[in-house]
Amino acid sequence: MEILPPWEPPMSGSDQQHLFGMLDRLRATFRYKADGLDIEQLATKLPSSQLSLGELLQHLALVEDEKFTYFIAGQRPEVLLGFTANGREHFVVDLEEDPENLYQRYDRAVAKSRGIQQSVIEERKLDTGSGLAFEGKHASIRRIICDLIEEYGRHAGHADLLREAIDGRVGEDPPFDYLPAWYA
């Protein structure tokens, strides 16, 4: 019997297990695609795009913080506020920055989100209203998770193209033995 990696969705499970399993698979895939690069590589852009892997690391750290910390947990979004307080644009990579800062910012945001995710799972709160409101209606936590899965789906595709252009790394998923820093 083959054992699946911990970030892989279950072969059979509940709606909640599949949603969060799919999110973790996309997180692991994205992190693998961005892993192990220097700051110049993280800032590399294709002629047809304004995106880089470093910018996507920063953007997804901010999105994780916004969706989980702010919309779901109702807490202060530290990543977002960190960028705005310093007058930084999250879609700009500072070539003077240590690349480990980008990785750590992303990994901390995902680890924090997964902690909030665990409380959602334990309390069975997927259909609870979130802090995101539109025309007086609050989106459910399930909707926020689906939006985040969509966000990762788009950016995992971008990461595929960017990484292949940088050093030729290709592949659908990370190797089975790959464990992102945020996985605990």
- The per-residue pLDDT for range 91-116, each reduced to its tens digit, is 788 899 999 999 999 999 999 999 99
- Taking Cα atoms as reference points, which of 173, 176, 181, 157 lies closest to residue 6? 176
Better pLDDT: 179 or 91: 179
pLDDT of residue 26: 96
- For the residues 41-67, what does the mean pLDDT come to? 94
pLDDT of residue 171: 79
**Residue 138, strand partner residues:** 133
- Taking Cα atoms as reference points, which of 150, 145, 122, 125 lies closest to residue 67? 145
Rounded to two decimals, the pTM is: 0.92
- For the residues 174-180, what does the mean pLDDT come to? 91
pLDDT of residue 133: 84
- The per-residue pLDDT for range 57-88, each reduced to its tens digit, is 999 999 999 999 999 999 988 887 777 666 66
pLDDT of residue 134: 85
pLDDT of residue 113: 96
pLDDT of residue 2: 58
pLDDT confidence bin for 90, thresholds 50/70/90: low
CB 80 within 8 A of CB 183: no
Q: Alpha-carbon distance 171 to 146, whole Å?
A: 24
Is residue 132 predicted with pLDDT exceeding 80?
A: yes
Q: Alpha-carbon distance 43 to 38, whole Å?
A: 9
Residues contacting residue 44 through CB under 8 Å, at least 6 positions apart: 52, 53, 162, 165, 166
Mean pLDDT, the chain, as a whole number? 90
